Structure 1
Amino acid sequence: MFRFDDNLKVYLHRDPVDFRYGMNSLSILIEQSMRLNPMDTSLYIFGNRRCDRIKILGWDGSGFWFLLKRLETSHFIWPDNKADIVTMTTNVLHALLDGDDITAIRRHPKRDRRVS
């Protein structure tokens, strides 16, 4: 399991994407649809329609990292947030990657596990 720095920005794309998309197509989607810079030090999370796979795209300063995870016995649960772009902390990202229901994580000022 990967662990990411606590200061890392993480963005979740709300709508499912075509999982034939690779690094180039997803970086264009980040620029045009999310209006963000794919070459900053953030992670961008994308899911498929069945919610059993996610793709993560990130830039480390010299190239893109491209990660894929498929859950075998369950599915990822996206937050009910109506925004096109959802930001999350790395703790919530870890919960998502573990297959936890991140919608059950409530916002609390003293807790770092929040979805906005």
Structure 2
Amino acid sequence: MKSPKEFKGVFLHRDPVDMRKAINGLSVIVQEAGMGDLMGPYLFVFCGKRRDVMKVLYFDRSGFALWQKRLEKDKFPWPKKSSVENVQLSTEQFTWLLEGYDVWKMKPHAELKFEKVC
């Protein structure tokens, strides 16, 4: 798979997907769910009910590519309480997700704004 840094963004389909689906079936999901430009520089990420398999679909200059990762013991953290069907991640968050970090529980420091410095 190409480096995630080569893509503009990552679209994650929140609902479980039948992991028997291949390029054509996943492409239909991308189009029907309005996940983004199917042939653009984006990664489209899917997971099954058991959350032990992740599939990543992308267009690579001359055709579609499909990448799969299967975990032997763990499960992928996945958004549960999101009100949107498609979740957008940064490429950095996607890399963390592949490593097993729950990017939905990770919170940065609050941004502070000052009127004046004392």
Give the TM-score taking structure 1 as reference length.
0.83
Q: How does 1:52-91 map to 2 (within 5 A)?
A: 52-79=52-79, 80-91=81-92
Structure with max Cα Rg: 2
Task: Kindly report structure 1 stretches of 4+ aligned residues shifted beyond 6 Å.
Answer: none
User: In the comparison of the two structures, how many residue pairs are matched?
Assistant: 110
Q: 5+ unaligned residues in a row in structure 2: which ranges? A: 112-118
Which consecutive residues of structure 1, in runs of 5 or more, have no partner in the other structure?
A: 111-116
3-state SS in 1 of match to 2:31: helix
Cα RMSD for the two superposed structures: 2.1
Q: What amino acid does structure 1 have at the position aligned with 2:96?
A: A
Matched, 1:98 2:99: yes
TM-score with structure 2 setting the length: 0.82
Residue 103 of structure 1 aligns with an amino acid whose one-letter code is W
Label 1:7 to 1:86 Cα distance change in 2 as closer, same or farther (>3 A).
same
Cα offset, 1:37, TM superposition: 2.6
Identity of aligned residues (%): 35
Q: Distance in 1 between matches of 2:85 and 2:109?
A: 22
State the AA in 1 paired with 2:82: N
Letter in 2 for 1:71: L
